[in-house]
């Protein structure tokens, strides 16, 4: 079964710390998404990537296709970054995927204390 694993499940940090959230997956993918879900709120797409690295403000997402691994980094973390961060992948055709269906990790709950 194709799977997506995230670590850690829970992460508590002090304001200003550098944060790393990890995502690993079992077989080949065509794209990986990082999503943010605030408590009681909807889900916002942060990044979609299939190779290399993307940066938006204090957020950086990297992916290593050979190692089947992606990381989401937050620099100079702030309490407003507190949310659940979700990794989702679109499996490649030869991994049995479609060009639209996503498989989601269980999420990482990040709490940034002031």
Partner 1 sequence: GAGVSQSPSNKVTEKGKDVELRCDPISGHTALYWYRQRLGQGLEFLIYFQGNSAPDKSGLPSDRFSAERTGESVSTLTIQRTQQEDSAVYLCASSLGVPGTSGGSSYNEQFFGPGTRLTVL
* 103-104 and 59-64 strand pairing: unpaired
Coil/strand/helix, residue 114? coil
Q: Distance (Å, rounded) from C-alpha 110 to C-alpha 14?
A: 11
- 19/86 with CB nearer partner 1: 86
Q: Of the candidates 4, 83, 110, 112, which one interacts with partner 1 according to CB under 8 A? A: 4
**What minimum distance in Å lies between the beta carbon of 46 and partner 1?**
10
Coil/strand/helix, residue 80? helix
| Site for partner 1 contains 104 (CB under 8 A) | yes
Number of helical H runs and strand E runs in the chain: 0, 11
| Site for partner 1 contains 43 (CB under 8 A) | yes
**What minimum distance in Å lies between the beta carbon of 24 and partner 1?**
14
| Site for partner 1 contains 64 (CB under 8 A) | no
| Site for partner 1 contains 92 (CB under 8 A) | yes
Q: Distance (Å, rounded) from C-alpha 102 to C-alpha 97?
A: 9
Binding site for partner 1 (CB under 8 A): 4, 30-33, 35, 41-45, 48-51, 86, 88, 90, 92-93, 98-107
């Amino acid at each position: 079964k194709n799977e997506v694993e995230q670590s850690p499940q829970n992460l508590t940090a002090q304001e200003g710390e550098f944060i790393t959230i990890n995502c690993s997956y079992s077989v080949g993918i065509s794209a990986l998404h990082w999503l943010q879900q605030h408590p009681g709120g909807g889900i916002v797409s942060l990044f979609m990537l299939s190779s290399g690295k993307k940066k938006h403000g204090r957020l950086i997402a990297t992916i290593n296709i050979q190692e089947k691994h992606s990381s989401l980094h937050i620099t100079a973390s702030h309490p407003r970054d507190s949310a659940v961060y979700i990794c989702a992948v679109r499996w490649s055709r030869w991994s049995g995927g479609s060009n639209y269906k996503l498989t989601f990790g269980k999420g990482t709950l990040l709490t940034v204390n002031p």
